[in-house]
Structure formats: C-alpha cells, structure tokens
Structure 1
Amino acid sequence: MGVALALVVATSGCGRLFLAFLPTVDDASSGELRGDWRGPDGAQVLLEPDGRAEVQDLGGENWDFDEGWRLSGTGTWKLIKGDEDTIGGAPAVQVVITQVTDRTQRTSDDPDERTISPQEPLSEYTWEFGMERTDEGLQPYYLAGDPDVATLYQLERVAEER
C-alpha cells in the first residue's frame, strides 16, 4: 500500500518554497520505472515497456483530489524534462489517460469532512509524478490537495511473482 505523508507549509502562499524541499531525481531511466505500482487506497499504476499506461482507481492530483473521484483507464506514459510545471522543476513521469474506463467517487468516513458530490465525467486526465531515489530504487509520488498544504502519495512497486 502506498504511503501518504502530510506536508504542511506554515506560511500561506509558499507553494513554490514547499516544492523546493521535495525529493527529486535528475537521472531516472524508463527502465527503472516500468512495471506495476500500487498507490493509496489500492490504486494501481502499470507502466508498460512500450509506453502504454493503465491506472485503476487513482485519485486526481492537487486540487482535483478534493473533487473525490478515482479514475481507471488506459493511455501512455513517458519521462519528461523538468520545468516550472513539474514538481520541484525536476524531471517527472507523465501519465496521460486518454481512454477512461471507469470513474468512482470516494466517500468520506469522517463526518466533519465536506460532502463529496458527483462531478462531470472525465474523458482524459494527466498526472505528473515526481520521483525519489530510495535504497529499493526509484519511487514515484504525486501531490494531492491544496499545494500549500499538500499530501504526498508515494507509489510502491508491486513485487513480481516468481
């Protein structure tokens, strides 16, 4: 199961400062990223060697996460160069889902959390995963919620069956 880390910036409006402290990787290769990954709440991300991608029950990034949907579908993935739109300006894994196969709404178990209402269907969605290098290899992650008070969701590699 993916690990969620709550990252809070004490001063409002410091999103760019916050991004500067996130882990980044400048030397990632496609080969290190190929395979099955598990995200929060049982989400799955499959990165195929030929550039195809599949996600199951993966929530949206940043503010989209607050909409409460989880998306399944197929599309493509690739490594992209870092720029002002990627996490910390570092290279990222871009996953573009162009064939949505399912969309579900999260429900809240917390009575103090606002009610999540159904949203319009999505026909396409793009995630940009940051990366961290650990003892086990690369570990992609994405940010959810308000960028100034974001939650970092890590993807964990699914062990290959032998």
Structure 2
Amino acid sequence: MEGGSRLRAWGATLGGLMVVLAVLTACAGPYQYYEGTGLHDTTTAEVAGGWENVEGTRVVLRENGTALFEKLDGQDFDFEDGWRLSGTGTWQLTDRDGGQVVRLALTARTRVGRRFPVTSTDASTPEPPSTYAWSFYVDRDPHDELELFFFYGDPDIGNTYVMTRETGS
C-alpha cells in the first residue's frame, strides 16, 4: 500500500509540474522574445525607395529620411483596430545586437482608411492615432532581396506583415 501512495504522490507532483510549465509557456508566443534577423549589412541607400504589400499598402522611404505612407496598418495589437493610416513622416535605419530595424514615424496624418467596414456605432472603437511609430525588422528573402516586416495581432500566433520592394523600384 505504501508503494501505491508514493506512486500517486509522484504522479500528482509530476502532473502539477506539467500544469505550471504549460501556464508559463502559454504566453510565450513566437515573437515575444524575438531578437531580430541577425542582419547587419544593409545600407540606408539599399532601404530607400518604394515598398508595398499584398493589401495595397505603399511606403516610400526617401534617402533624405522623409517618408510617405499609404494605407499602413498598425502593428502588434493595434492591427486589430482595423485602421489604415496615410500621411508623411520620417524613417531611419538602426542597428542593434539582434539585427537592423527600420523605424518609421508618421508625423502628419492625411487620411484614415479601414481594412474592413465599420458596421457598429460602438463608442469603444478607438480613434485612429494622429501620429504613430512602427519598427520593421530588416531581412532578406531566399533570393537575397530585402524585405521589411513586423508582427501583428496576437503574439502567440506570430503573424508577419511583410513589405517587399515596390514593382518597378
């Protein structure tokens, strides 16, 4: 009988440990601890130019550090609000331990769009920001072409919002 009690106690302890580990790792989504792409060799001249994505977003990064934004969605959980911002601002290429990042800042909003139609008059829907900042990771695709991306939505899912060189740029 004593051996059975020890076995049950061991099983309960192991089961409790598994529950604790499951809880601790449940919130650690793919990008919560993302360090970057490891890319450090991109130049400002290489990043400058037109960028687009499949949703009709367009960003122009000028060599003088100014930028034009058309229909750029929010990153992280802001993406779920559905707004798309257009306007002007600034950009810079930064380098940190994990890799390079393009930081964009919308300083003058000219238009707000919606990714999906607003069907309710719910007052809890947040007002789109008049200024906003994004951080795009710099990476290379399998053909060694640059791409810029950020994560959006629920961090446990790891969705990426990818910008590629504008066709004809």
TM range, smaller chain: 0.7 to 0.9
Report runs of 4+ in structure 1 exceeding 6 Å deviation.
none
Partner residue in 2 for 1:123: 130
The higher-RCO structure (CA 8 Å, 6+ apart) is 1
Instruction: Please list, as runs of the form range in 1=range in 2, the aligned pairs for 1:73-84 lying within 5 A after superposition.
Output: 73-82=87-96
TM-score by length of 2: 0.72
5+ long unaligned stretches in structure 2: 1-24
What is the root-mean-square deviation of aligned Cα atoms in Å? 2.4
Partner residue in 2 for 1:152: 160
Partner residue in 2 for 1:86: none
Q: Which of 72, 97, 103 does residue 94 from structure 1 map onto?
A: 103
Query: Which structure has the larger Rg?
Result: 2
TM-score by length of 1: 0.75
Distance in 2 between the 1:19 and 1:39 partners? 25
- For this pair of structures, how many residues does the alignment match? 139
Identical counterparts, % of pairs:
34
Over 3 Å counting, the alpha-carbon distance change for 1:45 and 1:93 in structure 2 is same
Cα deviation code 1:22-65 (max 9, x no counterpart): 63412221011010010241100100011111110011000100
The structure that is helix-richer by fraction is: 2
Distance in 1 between the 2:91 and 2:52 partners? 16
5+ long unaligned stretches in structure 1: 1-10, 84-88, 109-114
Distance in 1 between the 2:147 and 2:132 partners? 21
